[in-house]
Structure 1
Amino acid sequence: MSDTYDLHASLGYQMSVTARLLERGFETRLKEIGLTRITWCILLAAGPQRLSQPSDIADFVGIDRTATSRALRQMETAGLIARIGGDKDKRTTFVGLTPDAEHKLEQASQHAQQNAGYFEDKLTKDESSTLRALLVKLRADEDDPLQRL
């Protein structure tokens, strides 16, 4: 009989549990101000990153264009973004933040910094740097994880 897979010792399990722990408190704070992780990421894309086209926003957030369009419609209805059609090409859409969105983005960014700081404080600067480098290394060339199976 082969060795039994040790779930709790596996890298995937440890990374998943840690990621959920990192996300849980932050997502609760986002919900309190009326945002989700995706809407916050879209606000970051359209705000500080100055991305104004939905396709660029989708690439930045890492979600498909259909999910981005759906989120943008909901955010427009909620008064968080304004979408403006292009002057020359009516199929072109530009996205901008409303004043309410800018306020929520500021709140969410403060929560993100606090959450990250809490966990960063558990590591030395060298450990934090090493962890980031290792995570980048694990994600390298992983556009299609099913391809390797």
Structure 2
Amino acid sequence: MTQHRFHLHQSLGYQITMLARVNERRFEQRIAEYGLSRVTWCVLLAAGEEGLATPSEIADFIGIDRTAISRALRQMEARGLITRSSGSGDGRSIRVELAAPGQAALQAVLPIAQENAAYFEAKLTGEELAELRRSIAKLLQGEPRIVAKL
């Protein structure tokens, strides 16, 4: 029986991973001057643009586990980007809101996020982009959502 070689650089998983890394690196380098990481940016976006207010909602939106969101929120609160307060009821629910510096950072970085997305999307025609989105949706169909443990 002949064994076939596996061509790493031609494998779909490798290519998708490399594209994600290039995209993330380009974005992270540009938001670093604002003292933000991809995770802190996503928290700002979740709370400021999506109206999500609980740590679990924000963690689900980003796709990270509860430990990672707790750590990120503590760091962001210490930096004055967000405030955390007890929600209504028994005091166990925490509400997250953007503080003024967090809102300012969100507004400063929104155009960078939009430009980063546009940079990669501009490499494709409208038809290619639509087909890529359909293909990604098809590949993800029926797959469990992965939660990152950052």
TM-score w.r.t. structure 2 length?
A: 0.92
CA RMSD of aligned residues (A): 1.3
Stretches of structure 1 that go unaligned for 5 or more consecutive residues are none
Q: In the alignment, does 2:137 pair up with 1:142?
A: no
Q: In the alignment, does 2:33 pair up with 1:32?
A: yes
Q: In the alignment, does 2:50 pair up with 1:49?
A: yes
**1:97-133 alpha-carbon deviations (Å, 9 max, x no partner):** 0111111111221111111111111101111111011
Matches within 5 A, 1:34-113: 34-113=35-114
**1:46-84 alpha-carbon deviations (Å, 9 max, x no partner):** 111101111111111111111111110110001000011
Structure 1 consecutive aligned stretches of length 4 or more whose deviation exceeds 2 Å: none
TM-score w.r.t. structure 1 length?
A: 0.92
Tell me what 1:18 maps to: 19
Alignment length (residue pairs): 145
Stretches of structure 2 that go unaligned for 5 or more consecutive residues are none
Deviation at 1:87, TM superposition (A): 3.5
Q: Secondary structure at the match of 2:6?
A: coil
Identity %, equivalent residues: 50
Higher relative contact order (CA 8 A, sep 6+): 2
